[in-house]
Structures are given as C-alpha cells and as structure tokens.
Structure 1
Amino acid sequence: MFYAYALRDGRLALQEADHDLSQALWIDLIQPGDAEMARLRDLGVPLPTLAEMEEIELSNRLYREDGLDYMTAVLPGENAAGDRVSMPVTFILSGARLVTVRHHSPRPFLTFPARAERSTLGCTSPDRLFSGLIEEIIARLADILEGVGRTLDQTTADIFQRRAVGAASDRLQAALQSVGREAETMARVRLALLTVERILAFHTAILDDRPEADRLRPVIRAQMRDVQALEEHGAFLGSRVSLAVDTTLGMINLQQNNTVRILSVIAALFLPPTLIASVYGMNFTNMPELDEPWGYAFALVLMGATTMGTWLFLRWKRWL
C-alpha cells in the first residue's frame, strides 16, 4: 500500500489511491507489492527490495542513480504484529518528489504529514520535505531517549528502596528486566542515529546540485549537531544502563549472600546437637549414660547448652 501527498495551500494533502501519482510531492510506500512497484517504475523511480535495503554496505544504502538519490536509514518502529523492531527505510529524493519505502511503521511517518508545514523549512519542495521529515525523525529519537532516561530514574530509585525480602526478590527481577528492555531500546536508537548521520553527510556532499543549497545547508548542519548531541546523550544513558545492571546484580548477590549466611548460621547452631545425638546413637556396650535414668534428660540439656553456647559465640564474633 502507499500514501500519496500533494501540496495544497502550503500544506500536505492526502490524495486518492487512484489519483495521478505524477502530481504527488511525497509518496510513502509500505511493503510495496508488484502493482505499486510498477506504478513507481512508470514514474521513473525503481524501488529497492527489502533485501537490498537490508544490505549493510554504504554503496547499497547511499548512492545516486539516474538522477535519483537513494538514502537508507535503520529506524525503530512497529511491525504489522505490533512488535518493536528496527528496519531499514529508504528515502528516494529527486527534483520532483520524495519517495519513501518502508516495511514497518516508524512513528514520524504517522505524525509528520499533519504538521509538515510547521517544520523549519516547510514542505514546499522535495528537499524541504525531506529536511522536515529528517527533523521529525530526530525529534522522535530524542523523545525515545528522554523516555529511557525517565524509566532509568524510576528503576534505579526502586532498586534502592527498602522492602521485605520476599518483595525485594521480585522487585529486583522486574528492575533487571526493565533495564534490559531499555538497553535494547537504546541500541535501536543509537543505530538509527548512526544511519541518520550518514544520510545527512551524504546529503551535504550532493547538496551543491540542489537549487536551494544555500538555504538547506545551515539546516542540515543544525541537524547534524542535533544528531551528535543525541549520540553523546545516548552514550551517557548507556553508561547509566550499565550502572543500573551492575547495581541490580550486586543487590541480587547481596540478597543471595544473606540467605546463604542465614542457612550457614542455622547449620552451625544445629551442628553440636547433631554431634551429641550421633555419639549417643552409637551401639557400644560400655556407654554408662544409656543405663542411667537421667541419661535422656542429660543429653537434651547438653544439646540445648551447646546450641546456646554456639549462638552466644556467633553473637560475640558479630557474625549474626
């Protein structure tokens, strides 16, 4: 399927599916089929396949062919099943229109058409439209990083809360899972920032061929600075993720050590009584206490006294 937008009164307006695509300023294709690919070929815009878009070589992601500039970025979004994924999105820029090819749903492609005219350069030309869409993508990546930061603030605060031991175990496990999800989100965002930065560098190199090069160049430089700032912020959040993981694992180890310590103390307390019971459980003939009426009480008192003595010794050593 696809969405075609034309320029009306300085704003993007959605065209009907059967409308003449040659009048469209932006054509957004989602999982294009053979029919959509044929219609774009008739416009002189051959579309790359998903396999070609997923190639990691720069020559397959950033190139010029027959007057068309092909630029591919890997952006986070949702697939048809609603799962969070990172997949390639190809921008095909010409003097007449912007064509985007994607196989998932990054949020900027859903929000940008309604506010394209409010971007820095507006949407009156394909170059300005492309610049505005990149601006929307960068803003979305910044929002995701901000959300990761808020989640990390909440998670780290929850890790250090004092609660019951039973609740602490579940809390630490939930915190570790939350940090793991945010780490995965961070990885997707940092990959997107890297590919967007490459797109902007490529676009800057070919900008002299554009009629609005002087107007576009400062905006692209500003976007490059924004991407670099977000990359630094992403690195900072990455260190926070590592700290949160280390802290959570440390708390889990402390909790496990405390449990093992309690079990060790219990075993130490019952060691002397067990030894005494084992001695009097031996079947030797010459054991006088076995024939005395006070033998059973004597064994019980001896086991209790050794248990209390062991407990007092552990308290004196501050091992309890």
Structure 2
Amino acid sequence: MLAAYHPEGKGLAPLGPSKDIGDALWIDLFAPDAAEVERVEAFGLSVPTLEDMEEIEISNRLHREGDCQVMTVMLPGRDAEGRQFSAPVTFMLTPERLVTVRHHSPRPFETFGSRAERSSSGSSTPVRVFLGLVEEIIARQADLLEATGRVLDRVAGEVFGEEMNDVEGLRLALRDIGQQGELTAKVRLALFTMERMLSTFIVWNGTMKHRDPQIATLAKAQMRDINALEVHLDFLNSRVALATDATLGMINLDENAVVRTLSVVAALFLPPTLIASIYGMNFAHMPELDNQNAYFIALGAMVASAAGTWIWFKAKGWL
C-alpha cells in the first residue's frame, strides 16, 4: 500500500489517488507490491526489500546513495493478526522527499499524517518531516513504557494484595509480567537503533549543502529524549525483575504450603503404619497374639501415636 502526503498549511494532507506522487513530501510504502515499488523507483531511488532491511550489518542499515540517506531502524508494531513484534523500517531521505518502507504497522506511521502540524520541527521540508516522524516514534515508545508501568502497578498490587491467594492467579500475573518484559526489550531495541540513526544523521547533516542550521539542534534534542527514555527503561526492567521474583516467590510459598500439608498427613500415618507393620509379621512366637484385647490395644496405640504426632506438630507451629 502506498500513501503520499503533501504540505498543507503547517501540516500534511494525503494526496488523492489521481494526484501525481511527485508532489508528495512524504511517501509511505507499507508492504508494497511491484507496481508501487516501480512508481517510487521512478524517482531514481532503490527501494529495499524486506530481506535487505533485515540485514544487521551497519553498512546496510545506514548508508548513502548519492543524495539519498538510507537509514533502517527496528520498531515495535503489529502484524495482520494484531500480534506485536519488532521489524525493520527504512527511511530514505532525499532533498525532495522522504520515503519510508515498512512491512508491519508501527502506530506513529498511522497517526503522524494527521498530527504533523503539532510537530516541533514542522513539516515544510523532507528533513523536517523526517524529524517530526522520529519525534512521533519517540513519543510512542514513551507511551508504551508508561503503559508497561501501569501494568506493573496493577500486577504488583495483585501479587502483594490479600486477594491474591491462588496459584492460578499468580501464574496469570507472571504471564503479564513476562509480556511486559518482552515489550520493554522491543522498546530498548527501537531506542538503540534510533539513537544510532540520529547520531549518523547529525554527521551527515553537517556535510549537506544548504543545510538547515536548526536541524542538528532538533536531532540532538531528540537524542536527549531517547537517553531519558533509556533511563526510565532501566527502571522498568528492574521493576519487571522484582515483580518476577516476587511472583515466583509467592508461587513457591503456596506450593510449599501444599507440600507441607501432605508431609504432615504422611507423618501422622507413620506411627500407626509402624505398629500395624509390627503386628503384621508372621512369626511363630508373638506373645501379644494370645491376648484377647490385643486388637483393641493395637488400635488404641495407633490412634494415640497419631494424636501424639499431631500434638507435637501443633506445638512446633508446623500446622
């Protein structure tokens, strides 16, 4: 799918299907087909395939092709089934336009078109559209971290609260914690690749002819935002680790209580079993067998031994 945007007022507006995409300031390619790739490559650009975008070599992810800056980052997004995962997104920045290539749906690419006028960098040039989109992406990562914090607050309240008294609830809490841990890992990867992209972009911007003097300042401000989010991310990771340990500890305590109960029940039957085993032996000379009350005496001994064991455990505080 191809979406094209042109400047309108202080923001961007989508180009109609009958308009020439040559007038677009930003072209967004989402899982493009061959015809859409051909339309963009008519501008002299080489649209990378998904295999090219997944290359981990820095020379493939950050390079220049003439006046075109090609930069690839890893961003969290959703697939067609709504599952969240990380996948590469490529920015192709030229003096005439910005082209983005992606094969999944990071939310900023769906919202930036209608919110470009709110960007601190504006949307008058391709490079400012690029920085505005990066700003939207950074804000999205901040939203994801805030959502993670809320989930951890809820889970911590459940785990440490009095209402959480079953193993199944603790297991569900542990699953929620694990999901948040996976999400923070995806956000960390996004912030790391974006920080590397911006540092490279700042260097390239210093060599551009007719460069905008404010661009480097805006990019450095975004890098400071990324650094602040990385600090917050470290804090959330420590909370994830604490919540995981606490939940596992609660599960172990609950399971230990079950095991302790079974152990006590087994211990209560040990003395009666010993007595029954002794008088179940088939020796020829067992004087108690001749006693008419031997059966009742044996039963009483078994009951007394079980009761004595129970009293002992109760006195020790094991029950």
The bucket for the TM-score relative to the shorter chain is over 0.9
**SS state of the match for residue 124, structure 1?**
coil
What is the distance in 1 between the residues matched to 2:188 and 2:219?
19
- Superposed CA offset, 1:193-242 (max 9, x none): 00110111011101121535311122111100000010111111111111
Q: Does 1:222 align with 2:221?
A: yes
- What pairs with 1:279-318 in structure 2 (closer than 5 Å)? 279-318=278-317
1:199 and 2:176 are equivalent in the alignment: no
Deviations 1:160-199 (A, max 9, x none): 12347xx520111011101110011011000000011011
Q: How many angstroms does 1:261 deviate by?
A: 1.5
Q: Take 2:19 and 2:80, find their aligned partners in 1: how far apart are those partners?
A: 26
**Unaligned stretches of 5+ in structure 1?**
none
Residue in 1 aligned with 2:187? 189
**Higher mean C-alpha displacement, 11-20 vs 26-35:** 11-20
- What is the CA-CA distance between 1:58 and the residue it aligns to? 1.0
Please give the alpha-carbon distance, in whole angstroms, between the structure 2 residues aligned to 1:230 and 1:210: 33
Q: What residue identity is the alignment partner of 1:107? A: R
Q: Which residue of 1 aligns with 2:104?
A: 104
* TM-score, length of structure 1 as denominator length: 0.95
SS at match of 1:176: helix
Decide whether the 8 Å contact of 1:107 with 1:140 is kept in 2. Answer: yes
The aligned residue for residue 39 of structure 1 is 39
Q: Deviations over 1:280-303 (max 9, x none)?
A: 222233234334332221111111
Change (3 A) 1:210 1:190: farther
**How many residues align structurally?**
318
CA RMSD, Structure 1 to Structure 2 (Å): 1.4
Q: 1 CA distance for matches of 2:211 and 2:143?
A: 30
Q: Deviations over 1:125-144 (max 9, x none)?
A: 11111111000000000000
Structure 2 residue identity aligned to 1:172: L
CA offsets per residue over residues 6-44 of structure 1, 9 Å max, x none?
A: 112332111123421111111000111111111111111
Identify if the C-alpha distance between structure 1 residues 210 and 118 changes in structure 2 by more than 3 Å, giving closer, same or farther: farther
1:71 corresponds to 2:71: yes
SS of structure 2 residue aligned to 1:153 = helix
Q: Deviations over 1:88-135 (max 9, x none)?
A: 000110111110000000000011111101100211111111111000
Q: In 2, Cα distance between the equivalents of 1:211 and 1:116?
A: 24
Q: Which amino acid aligns with 1:188?
A: K
Q: Distance in 1 between matches of 2:309 and 2:24?
A: 87
Alpha-carbon separation, structure 2, partners of 1:17 and 1:86: 30
Q: Post-superposition shift, 1:265? A: 1.2
1:78 and 1:319 map into 2 onto residues whose CA distance is 52
Secondary structure of the structure 2 residue equivalent to 1:206: helix
Aligned equivalent of 2:113: 113
Q: Which runs of 5+ in 2 are unaligned?
A: none
The sequence identity of aligned pairs, in percent, is 51
Q: How does 1:1-320 map to 2 (within 5 A)?
A: 1-163=1-163, 167-208=165-206, 209=208, 211-320=210-319
Between the aligned partners of 2:256 and 2:107, the Cα distance in structure 1 is: 46
1:270 shift after superposition: 0.8
